[in-house]
Amino acid sequence: MTANELRKLYVSYYKERGHQLAAAASLVPENDASVLYTSAGMQPLVPYLLGKEHPLGKRLVNVQRCVRTGDIEEVGDDYHLTVFEMLGNWSLGDYFKKEAITMSFEFLTEKLNIPVSNLAVTVYKGNDKVPYDAEAIQTWLELGLSKEQIFCYGDDENWWGPAGETGPCGPDSEMFYVNDLPDCSEECGPDCSCGKYVELGNNVFMTYNKDKDGNLTELKQKNVDVGLGFERLLILANNLQNVYETDLFVPLINKLEEISEVSYDKSNEKTYKIICEHTRAAVFILADPKNIVPSNSEQGYILRRLIRRTIRMIHKLGVKKNILPELAQEVIEIYGEAYPEIKLCRETIIEELKKEYDKFDKTLQSGLKMANKYFGKLQAGECLNGQQAFKLYDTYGFPIEFTLELAGEKEIIVDVEGFKGKFEEHQEKSRSGAAGKFKGGLAEHNRNSVRLHTATHLLNSALRQVLGDSVFQRGSHINSERLRFDFSFHRKLSEEEISQVESIVNKAINESIDINCIEMNVEDAKESGAIGIFESKYGDVVKVYVIPGYSLEICGGPHVSNTAELRYFKIIKEQSSSSGVRRIKAIVDLD
């Protein structure tokens, strides 16, 4: 079964059961302070999981590209990927546990022909506040699983959420493929990492709302969020060992072998996998409609890190020329049918990869000079200290393996343990710095963030009035205290221009204008003059928010009902974000 066939099979199965196809969203979450990239199919649906009516109804299905960057260094094994696809289906206050579990089971066993005997599931065993999930257990038993195939775990394994400190949460029931391997111990089960149990997907039952004090109350709208790992199902459907044997990667590996003139074998297998996986990830990110480019912060930093690690691996193969554009072309061909928008971004993708290669190639040469400077002060048998090894990694992007290779040529020892200590210090600082970003999640969708979201519409309109129609939104980030708005413009704004923008927004606020929402198809939205990125995420029916006299914009919401609720608008900073993109930080008069 090809990748394209599996996607179509999944979508058609759920459409036959009353689900509407919800178009995939951008890789950059819209107005979500919790993560840099969309890491799950449910993220774009947050407003609807919280009770907002979805224009397509209560049953949805889609295939969502996701990015998870926590294990970049682990890419190259059989399991870790930075970019993957999530097969998702949802019930927004419609059916619940029994129906969701039954559909998941039938898709796995009837459509993918996975033997029931090779399945195992986990369910929530309960605690002093929430009872064990008897309904899920009974459903699995009725479908034909034995008691020995059902495992009960607690909060660590079978409780989902909330995504932030507060919000929807509830028990879940995960599904696993059981490999034909012996138990690693008497305690062996789905929570074990021995390799016998491979997770296929998860049925999440959003049953409760958790408040800031940890109290749980039952939700009026109980939702189901089901996510299945596309690549893992593709492996199973074709009886393969890992994702690199599927049609998502085989053509790319063959292309790399051809253009590098280096044979693919066990000695360079991991290097090959990293190059192919990271190139694929970079292509997806560069093709995103939010116009992400390599930079030293946030989404752009992750992209730069992926590209530069790829370049290092290309050098490790012994290839001195820039083969990234040719590899990217192959990725575009592989995914062109499923994601035709990637083909439209071909030139941009190739251009950015060329620019980043040229930049890092110079950095790489500088790093080699620094390494030789360190080595020049040492004799054979002496030791490069951990601080120096980490500087080569942190400043010049040298992995410890590369430093070890360089040192070995000069018979110099490297303090690897010292390097690891410095690296762990660096990771701890990074985790601490990221704690605030991952703290928000669903909790950030409160009254203040809604008001700031509405303010971005007025700000966008005001910027276009003052600077011209060539201005377009390039990204936004909202928390409970301020908005950040990126837009296309080539120079710093003058104080007079900033004052004009503020005046236009505050004029709209003072006029106490009612904000209307109109549902229409995409073509009508275009003809109406609504602005927005006309990407596939909107689907056939879109919501257009109208602030008469000021703004006509496609958006998923949420918004205030009247501009007066914003009270007052103030720009607190205007600066460069990246080449050709400016950034404004602003506030409104909050509660």
For residue 506, which of 544, 462, 546 has the smallest C-alpha distance?
462
Residue 442 near residue 163 (C-beta atoms within 8 A)? yes
Q: Rounded to an integer, what distance in angstroms lies between the CA atom of residue 406 and that of residue 378?
A: 13
Q: How far apart are CA 404 and CA 388, in angstroms?
A: 12
Is 54 annotated to bind a ligand? Reply is no
Q: What is the DSSP secondary structure assignment for residue 514, as one 8-state letter?
A: B
Helix 97-106 to helix 134-142 angle (10° resolution) is 40
Annotation-wise, does 477 bind a ligand?
no
A 10 A CB-CB count for 73 gives 11
Identify which of 292, 271, 270, 268 has the alpha carbon closest to the alpha carbon of residue 281: 292
Tokens at residue 420, please? 């690891």
Task: Look at residues 405, 3, 425 and name the one whose alpha carbon lies nearest to residue 229.
Answer: 3
Determine if residue 152 is labeled as part of a ligand binding site. no
3-state secondary structure 258-327: HHHCCCCCHHHHHHHHHHHHHHHHHHHHHCCCCCCCCCCCHHHHHHHHHHHHHHHHHHHCCCCCCCHHHH
Euclidean distance between CA atoms 254 and 264, whole angstroms: 9
**DSSP classification of residue 437:** G
Radius of gyration for the chain, computed over Cα atoms and rounded to the nearest angstrom: 26
Phi, psi of 427 (to 5 degrees): -65, -40
Residues 512 and 469: their CA atoms lie apart, in Å, by 25
Residue 457 assigned ligand-binding role = yes
- Residue 86 in tokens: 């999530």
- Annotated binding-site residues for Zn(2+) read 453, 457, 555, 559
Residue numbering of the annotated binding site: 453, 457, 555, 559
